[in-house]
Structure formats: structure tokens, C-alpha cells
């Protein structure tokens, strides 16, 4: 059964101790991604016991280590300039994860939030590019094979770096969503055009290693976008708390937390966050879209001030009358794992209303 959805007014937000623990795990130098990923799952499953899933990953890693150690180099099978040892080892992990265990990309229910939870990926053996890539990295790390993440636009990828100083100079680019497919530079260019448009220019910097905080933040932004699209605002707000734990300076997440609090009728929290967002944005250089966003947030702040004042003065509230409650609008289009998905920026007509737009985001 899928995750439950919760609707209502002010709800209990995610526990402070989980936010702090997640921030510590996300920013620590330890390469382990699984612990932080399982903390993300507690947004939906607060009582989740991470232990059995970490044990399962250890078991997968131990078996993969045996497969990697036994990998046999077949002469002429590796692509040009690719280390044949690395190629054989990657093929061994691919065969284990995708042929034997049958992990697969979830094409049929791509936007199911369970695709972003590591426990569900392990239980159901399906996910989206970044969650399957995280699983792959964790298994490879336990097997002794160095594999890193790539924050490629619209579709998270992996890289098995070449060992420098040898005649083999080509890294292996791996697509965990498509059963560990190996991508050439031409294939990467085609993938970029698919997700970023025909005019997108390929650059080697698109294949740089993603840091641990970047990987976890991308998972969270995906999940927030899904929850907003489902109008599951309490969980979306919790995800935003975790995003701010990864990067407290992320003003857009501060704005989104305020907008989500507004949707949940938590006016005092919404006012606090949106006022802080305006203060920080006033010091930054804004493009045209950001200026429009600033102006709309300012309108929300003025409305929130009246609402908070009316709550503190019920007699005045009776004289002023009520205002329509905020609603979340449809997602705007943006680059995601399937080309054009994601975000929640309002239409021109909706922008004229007093209702706050939903938080933005990208799905990848």
C-alpha cells in the first residue's frame, strides 16, 4: 500500500532531533549515503527501523564483493581506452543487481514518492535514477569498487573513474535507471538534449562528481516536488526542513517553507519565514522572475500580517471579515528526470490573486 496522505490545518512538524541528526549525517565526511537516505524515509515512515535495511545493504555488498573479486576480463570486451578490469567489475555488479536481483527503473509509477525512499527501493526493487544510483553506490562501496554520483541535468548518473597513470583514460559513465547501461559521450549529449532542449551545450563539467550534500539535496527536492503535486503539504514542509538542514543559506527553501506553512494555516511560521526571505532577497541581485517573486511574496506578507493581527485581536477579526484560504497551484514546467516536469510556479492569472503559489523544485 502506498504512503498515506495527510491534510488539514496546523500539523506536527518533523521532530527537531531528526532534523539535527540528518544535517549531521548529510554534512559529515563519511561517504555513507544510506543512513541519511533512510532518515529521509522517516518523513513518511516515522517509526522506520533503519537497522534491517543497513544489514540488507551489507549483505548485498558482501555478495557483490565476491562477484567483483571473481570478475573475469574478456579480451576485447571493454570499450576503447577503458580499463578492462574496471569494466569487468562493473559488469559483475550490473549482472548481480539488475539481472539476478531485478532492480529496475519504475517507468509505470515514476512519480510515486516511494521511489525516493531507500527502504522502499530495497523492498520493491524499483526506483528513479537517483535512488537506484544511491543503491548502486552503496553496494559498490561495500564491494570495494569506487563509483561516484553525477548531478547530470534531468537524469542522475554514475561514474567509475579510471585509474590515473595507466594507458586507460576513459571513465565509465553508468545509468543505474536503465539497468547499468554504459553511456558514451555521444549518449550523454543526446541525454542532455532530451532533458534540457536541443540547444543545450554539452560540457565536461556536467560530469563532475556530485558531493554528498548535493546528492541528498537532489533527492529531497525531487520528493518535495512530488508531495506538492499531490497536495501533501505536511510532508512537503518536512522535506523542506531537511533541505534547510543541508543548506541553511538556501533562501528559496526558506521561502518554500513559509509558503507551505501558509498552505497549512500556520500563519505565524509563514510570516516569520517569508519576512526573513524578503530581508535576504533585498540584499541580492534579482532578475525579472525573482523580482516578480519578491513582489508576490511581499503581498503574502501583508496578508499574513493582517491575519496574525486578527488572531491576536478577535474583535478586529470580526470587523475585517475573512479571506480565502491559501491553495497550492499546479506545478510549473521545468527540467526533470523526464525532460519537462517539476516545480510549482503560478500562472499569470493566479499570480494576481491573494493565494500563495507553491514551492518550486526539480524532479531528477
How confident is the model over 134-176, as pLDDT tens digits? 999 999 999 999 999 999 999 999 999 988 767 778 899 999 9
To the nearest whole number, what is the mean pLDDT of the chain? 85
Between strands 335-336 and 157-160, the pairing is unpaired
Instruction: Determine the pLDDT at residue 282.
Output: 86
* pTM for this entry: 0.84
36-57 pLDDT per residue, tens: 999 999 999 999 999 999 999 9
What number of other Cβ atoms are within 10 A of residue 32's Cβ?
16
The pLDDT, as a whole number, for residue 345 is 33
Q: What is the pLDDT, as a whole number, of residue 115?
A: 98
Q: How many CB atoms lie within 10 A of CB 364?
A: 24
Helices 51-69 and 34-41, axial angle in degrees (round to 10): 140
Strand-pair category, 339-340 with 335-336: antiparallel
Tally of helices (H runs) and strands (E runs) in the chain: 14, 8
Task: Identify the pLDDT of residue 219.
Answer: 98
Three cell numbers, residue 207: 560530469
Among 26, 48, 38, 45, CA closest to 245: 26
How confident is the model over 187-216, as pLDDT tens digits? 999 999 999 999 999 998 999 999 999 999
The H or E element spanning position 339 is: strand 339-340
Name the grid cell of 148.
Answer: 561516484
Strands (E), 121-272: 126-127, 148-150, 157-160, 172-175, 181-183
Owner of C-alpha cell 479571506 = 323
Would you state the pLDDT for residue 353? Answer: 34
CB 51 within 8 A of CB 119: no
Identify the pLDDT of residue 216: 98
pLDDT of residue 291: 86
Question: Widest CA span of the chain, in angstroms?
Answer: 85
- What pLDDT does residue 75 have? 87
- Give yes or no for residue 237 having a pLDDT over 50: yes
- Report d(CA 129, CA 127) in Å as an integer: 7
pLDDT greater at residue 350 or residue 168: 168
Amino acid at each position: 500500500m502506498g504512503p498515506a496522505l495527510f491534510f488539514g490545518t496546523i500539523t506536527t512538524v518533523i521532530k527537531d532531533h531528526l532534523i539535527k541528526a540528518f544535517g549531521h549525517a548529510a554534512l559529515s565526511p563519511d561517504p555513507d549515503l544510506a543512513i541519511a537516505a533512510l532518515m529521509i524515509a522517516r518523513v513518511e515512515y516515522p517509526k522506520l527501523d533503519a537497522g534491517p535495511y543497513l544489514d540488507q545493504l551489507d549483505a548485498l555488498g558482501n555478495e557483490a564483493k565476491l562477484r567483483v573479486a571473481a570478475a573475469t576480463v574478456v579480451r576485447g570486451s571493454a570499450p576503447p581506452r577503458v580499463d578492462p578490469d574496471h569494466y569487468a567489475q562493473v559488469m559483475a555488479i550490473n549482472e548481480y543487481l539488475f539481472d539476478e536481483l531485478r532492480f529496475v527503473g519504475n517507468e509505470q509509477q515514476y512519480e510515486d514518492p516511494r521511489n525516493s525512499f531507500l527502504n522502499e527501493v530495497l523492498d520493491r526493487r524499483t526506483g528513479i535514477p537517483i535512488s537506484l544510483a544511491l543503491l548502486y553506490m552503496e553496494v559498490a562501496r561495500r564491494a570495494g569498487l569506487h563509483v561516484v554520483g553525477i548531478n547530470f541535468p534531468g537524469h542522475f548518473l554514475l561514474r567509475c573513474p579510471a585509474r590515473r597513470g595507466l594507458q586507460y583514460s576513459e571513465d565509465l559513465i553508468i545509468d543505474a535507471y536503465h539497468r547499468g547501461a554504459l553511456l558514451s559521450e555521444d549518449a550523454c549529449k543526446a541525454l542532455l538534449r532530451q532533458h534540457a532542449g536541443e540547444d543545450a551545450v554539452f560540457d565536461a563539467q556536467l560530469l563532475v562528481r556530485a558531493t554528498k550534500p548535493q546528492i541528498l539535496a537532489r533527492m529531497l527536492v525531487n520528493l518535495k516536488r512530488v508531495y506538492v503535486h499531490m497536495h501533501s503539504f505536511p510532508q512537503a514542509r518536512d522535506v523542506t526542513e531537511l533541505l534547510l538542514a543541508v543548506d541553511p543559506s538556501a533562501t528559496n527553501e526558506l521561502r518554500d517553507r513559509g509558503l507551505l506553512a501558509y498552505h497549512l494555516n500556520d500563519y505565524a511560521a509563514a510570516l516569520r519565514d517569508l519576512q526573513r526571505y524578503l530581508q535576504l532577497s533585498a540584499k541580492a541581485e534579482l532578475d525579472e522572475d525573482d523580482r516578480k517573486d519578491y513582489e508576490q511574496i511581499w503581498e503574502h506578507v501583508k496578508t499574513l500580517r493582517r491575519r496574525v493581527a486578527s488572531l491576536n485581536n478577535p474583535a478586529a477579526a470580526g470587523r475585517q471579515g475573512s479571506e480565502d484560504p491559501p491553495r497550492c497551484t499546479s506545478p510549473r514546467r521545468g527540467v526533470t528526470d523526464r525532460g519537462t516536469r517539476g516545480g510549482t510556479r503560478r500562472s499569470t492569472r493566479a499570480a494576481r490573486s491573494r493565494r500563495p503559489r507553491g514551492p518550486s523544485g526539480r524532479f531528477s
